[in-house]
Amino acid sequence: MSQLFLGVALLLVLLLVGGLARVLQGPTPHDRLLAAQLFGTTAIAILLLLAESSGAAGVLDVALVLSLLAMVSVVAFISCSRGRGAPE
C-alpha cells in the first residue's frame, strides 16, 4: 500500500514539473498565479501521501501549515496589484 502512495506522489511531482511551464508562459500574471496556487495544493497532496507512506511524525503538520497559509501569496499579489501604489 505504501508503494501505491509513493507512486501517486511521484506522479504528482512529475505533473508539477510539467505544469511549471505555465507559470513562465503566462501570459497574464493571473495565469502564473493560478498555476502557482495549483502547485501549492499539489504539494499538500504529496505531503499527505508521504505522511501515510512513511508514517513519520510531523509531516501532516507541514501540510497543515501549508494549507493554513495557502491564501497569503494570492492576497499579497492582489493587494500589491490592486491596493495603494499599484502600477496603473
Partner 1 sequence: MTLEMLFDMALVGAVVVAAAYAINAPVLIAGVFVYIVFGVLLSLVWVRLGAPDLAIAEAAIGAGITGAIVLDAARQMGMERRRNPRLRRWPGWLSWAATAAVGVIFAGVFLTVSEGRGDLPQRVQAELPRVGVENEVTAVLLSYRGYDTWFEVGVLLVAALGVLALRAPGESPARRFRWDPPAVADGAADMLVPGGILMAGYLLWQGSRGPGGAFQAGAVLAAIAVLLTLLGRPPIARVSDRARDALLVVGFADFLLVGLVAVTLGGALFEYPPAWAAPMILVIESAVAVSVAVTLSLLFAAGGAAGDASEGGVP
Partner 2 sequence: MSPRDLATVLLLLLAAFFFVAGVLGIVRFPDTLTRLHAVTKADNVGLGLVVFALLFQADSFLAGAKLVLIWILVLIASATSCYLIAGASLLDGDEESG
Give the binding site for partner 1 (CB under 8 A): 3, 6-7, 9-10, 13-14, 16-17, 20, 23-24, 26, 29, 32-33, 35-36, 39-40, 43, 46-47, 50, 56-59, 61-62, 64-66, 68-73, 75-87
In the block, cell 503566462 appears at 26
Does 64 bind partner 2 (CB under 8 A)? Our answer is yes
The answer to whether 38 and 18 are in contact (CB under 8 A) is no
Is residue 5 close enough to count as binding partner 2 by CB under 8 A?
yes
Which amino acid is residue 77, in one-letter code?
F
